[in-house]
Amino acid sequence: MTGNFNIRDNDWDPNYPHHSVYTKDLLTLAESLGLDLSPPINLGLTRFADNLRDTNSVIDLAFINPNNSGFSQHFLHPELCRPSDYVPLIIEVSINKTNIDNSFWSISKDSEEKKNFIKAITDNTLTLDTSNITSKENLEVIVQ
C-alpha cells in the first residue's frame, strides 16, 4: 500500500518535531491488512513544497507485507520528480527465476524454404483483386 497519506509525523520525518493524531489510525489500518511501514532504502523527502508557506516533507509512504519476500524494499527517486512536487516511490519486486519452455517457428536464412515462402507470398499478393476496396470490411475480406 503506497501513496500520499498527507500525514506529517516524526516517526517517518525526523525533521518534523511532532506526532500526528492520525498516525495511530494509519498504522492500525496497515496492521489490519498485514502490512508494516517500509522505510525507503535511501531516506529522504517525498514532497518538495511549491510555495513559501509550506515546507518540504515526508508524506508519501509505503507499507509492505513483511512475509512477502517479493516486495522487499522501496527507493525514493527525487531526480524523477519534476514537473511534479512529489518524489516517486519505486518498489522493487523480486521475480523468481524459472525455466519457461517456449518454441517458435522459423525459417533458416537463405534456405530453399525461405525462398519458397517469399515466392508464395508474392504470388498470392499479386493475384489479389483489389478493385473492390471501398470499405474497411471489403479490405478485411480481401486480406483474409
Any domain includes 107: no
Do 58 and 124 fall into the same domain? Answer: no
Do 36 and 70 fall into the same domain? Answer: yes
Any domain includes 82: yes
CATH number at residue 44: 3.60.10.10
| Alpha carbon distance 32, 36 (integer Å) | 10
| Alpha carbon distance 14, 114 (integer Å) | 67
Do 84 and 116 fall into the same domain? Answer: no
Any domain includes 134: yes
| Alpha carbon distance 109, 120 (integer Å) | 16
Residue 71 corresponds to which amino acid?
Answer: F
Range of the domain at 26: 2-93
Any domain includes 100: no
Do 72 and 139 fall into the same domain? Answer: no
Read off the C-alpha cell for 128. 489479389
How does pLDDT run across 75-123, given as a tens digit for each residue? 888 888 777 788 888 887 777 777 777 777 888 888 999 999 999 989 8
Give percent of the chain with pLDDT exceeding 90.
19
The SS3 of residue 88 is coil
How does pLDDT run across 48-68, given as a tens digit for each residue? 888 888 888 888 888 988 888
- Residues forming beta bridges with residue 2, ordered by sequence position: 62
The SS3 of residue 70 is coil
Any domain includes 124: yes
Do 87 and 133 fall into the same domain? Answer: no
Do 29 and 83 fall into the same domain? Answer: yes
| Burial class, 88, CB count within 10 angstroms (exposed 0-12 / middle 13-18 / buried 19+) | middle
CB 44 within 8 A of CB 10: no
Q: How many folded domains does the chain comprise? A: 2
Do 18 and 87 fall into the same domain? Answer: yes
Residue owning grid cell 513483511: 66
Specify the pLDDT at position 112. Answer: 93
Do 86 and 118 fall into the same domain? Answer: no
Read off the C-alpha cell for 44. 529522504
